[in-house]
């Protein structure tokens, strides 16, 4: 009998989840309020520049994001143009905006009092407090969507921001409305008896030795559970059942929502899709606790969380 599923409402141990931000969606439709925030010196900013973030690495094992206040900003020309910011909500009762600086060549000079530098998130993610990581997940997702949605997907006319950056309206036809995009991805830990199936994907390159859970995008007209069954069959050629939800994780690389599941099978014969899977193995708990010739996913991933939960059952 499969064990009971984890609490589907939990977020405390899922990296990039558990945001401290009050998103305050009701305030996005009040332009006067938003305009006041853009003149308030205590307003906080999340600067985003070409996929990098203002991060302070305090020690080898700790880092934090830098959230400059508006009063410390040396504003570039036209920065209040709605094309360059998105209202994220409130952090400890202070307004918080994502600021898109992609058009600038040297954004560092805008923040003379900041201690941080613009850094890649992924290598430093495990050093950040979970709340900081969740803030960046939201900011990254919104900036990525805005950057790639400048033109109407229906007619090609320019879009203009609305609702404090959370909606885009076609300038040629205001009935063409565009909303933030999140791509659902299922990730599944396939189990057979006391073993789990981990695989090395071809997209990581031949030098990678990371073995992880299987994963794939949910397709139109498909439930997440159907996507789990289809992806497992397509990638490794086995049928699964007893598909159970585990947890979810925002994944800001660039804008996915990882939907974690466990699935069970009685079939151990693998038939790999060579376009997707380079290698796959059935592994015992001892194999996973003492990996030989492979590595596990990073502790910041939902795949690692699911593997750790499986290890802790015994």
pLDDT in tens, 148-192: 999 999 999 999 999 999 999 999 999 999 999 999 999 999 999
pLDDT at res. 155: 98
pLDDT of amino acid 183: 97
CA pair distance 270, 196, nearest whole angstrom: 13
Task: Grade residue 228 by pLDDT with cuts at 50, 70 and 90.
Answer: very high
Largest CA distance in the chain: 64
The percent of residues above 70 in pLDDT, for the chain, comes to: 96
pLDDT tier, 8 (very low <50, low <70, confident <90, very high otherwise): very low
- What is the C-alpha separation between 44 and 66, in angstroms, rounded? 10
Domains of the chain: 25-148 (3.90.79), 153-180 (no CATH), 183-313 (3.90.79.10)
Please give the pLDDT value at position 80.
Answer: 85
For the stretch 232-265, pLDDT in tens is 999 999 999 999 999 999 999 999 999 999 999 9
Per-residue CA distances from 11 to 16, 280, 299 (Å): 9, 29, 15
Average pLDDT over residues 2-22: 67
Q: Report whether pLDDT(301) > 70.
A: yes
- What's the mean pLDDT when you consider all of the chain? 93
Q: How confident is the model at residue 207, as a pLDDT?
A: 85
**Helix (H) and strand (E) counts in the chain:** 5, 15
Give the dihedral sign, CA 305/310/313/314: negative
N- to C-terminal Cα separation, the chain: 15
pLDDT of residue 314: 67
pLDDT exceeds cutoff 50 at 66: yes
Tokens at residue 277, please? 């899977």
Q: Confirm if 307 and 210 have CB atoms less than 8 A apart.
A: no
pLDDT of residue 75: 85
Q: What is the model's pLDDT at position 7?
A: 43
pLDDT of 1: 35
Whether residue 234 contacts residue 159, with contact meaning beta carbons closer than 8 Å, is answered with no
Residue 15 to residues 46, 133, 134, 135, 154, Cα–Cα distance (Å): 19, 7, 7, 11, 36
CB-CB contact of 246 with 6 (8 Å)? yes
- Asked whether the predicted pLDDT for residue 9 surpasses 70, the reply is no
Peptide bond before residue 254 is cis, with ω within 30 degrees of 0: yes
> Both tokens of residue 239?
């049928």
Strand 44-49 with 94-100, pairing: parallel
Q: Residue 5 above 80 pLDDT? A: no
pLDDT higher than 80, residue 270: yes
Above 80 in pLDDT, residue 30? yes
pLDDT at 2: 40
Cα–Cα distance measured from residue 251 to residue 274, given in angstroms and rounded to the nearest whole number: 26
What letter does residue 208 receive in the DSSP assignment? -
Q: In this structure, what token pair is assigned to residue 6?
A: 């984890």
Give backbone dihedrals phi and psi of 98, rounded to 5 degrees, phi first: -80, 130
Q: Is 70 exceeded by the pLDDT of residue 11?
A: no
Q: In the sheet where 159-162 sits, what is the strand order?
A: 159-162, 167-170, 177-178
* Contacts of residue 210, Cβ cutoff 8 Å, sequence gap at least 6: 200, 204, 294, 295, 296, 297
pLDDT, position 272: 97
Pairing mode of beta strands 159-162, 117-120: unpaired
């Amino acid at each position: 009998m499969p064990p009971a599923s984890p609490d589907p409402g939990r977020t405390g141990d899922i990296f990039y989840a558990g945001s401290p931000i009050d998103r305050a969606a009701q305030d996005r439709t009040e332009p006067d309020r938003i305009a006041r925030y853009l003149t308030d010196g205590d307003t906080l900013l999340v600067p985003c520049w070409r996929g990098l973030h203002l991060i302070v690495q305090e020690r080898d094992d700790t880092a934090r994001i830098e959230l400059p206040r508006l009063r410390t900003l040396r504003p570039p020309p036209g920065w209040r143009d709605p094309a360059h910011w998105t209202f994220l909500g409130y952090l400890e009762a202070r307004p918080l905006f994502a600021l898109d600086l992609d058009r600038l060549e040297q954004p560092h000079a805008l923040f003379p009092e900041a201690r941080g530098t613009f850094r890649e998130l992924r290598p430093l993610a495990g050093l950040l407090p979970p709340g900081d990581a969740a803030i960046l997940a939201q900011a990254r997702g919104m900036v990525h969507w805005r950057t790639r949605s400048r033109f109407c997907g229906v007619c090609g006319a320019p879009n203009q921001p609305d609702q404090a950056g959370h909606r885009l309206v076609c300038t040629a036809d205001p009935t063409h409305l565009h909303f933030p995009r999140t791509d659902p991805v299922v990730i599944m830990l396939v189990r057979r008896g006391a073993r789990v199936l981990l695989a090395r994907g071809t997209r990581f390159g031949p030098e990678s030795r990371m073995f992880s859970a299987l994963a794939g995008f949910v397709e139109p007209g498909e439930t997440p559970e159907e996507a789990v069954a289809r992806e497992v069959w397509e990638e490794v050629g086995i049928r699964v059942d007893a598909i159970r939800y585990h947890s979810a994780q925002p994944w800001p690389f660039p804008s996915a929502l990882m939907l974690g599941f466990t699935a069970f099978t009685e079939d151990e014969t693998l038939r790999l899709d060579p376009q997707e899977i380079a290698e796959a193995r059935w592994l015992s708990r001892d194999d996973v606790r003492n990996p030989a010739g492979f590595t596990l996913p990073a502790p910041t991933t939902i795949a690692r969380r699911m593997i750790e939960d499986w290890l802790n059952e015994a």
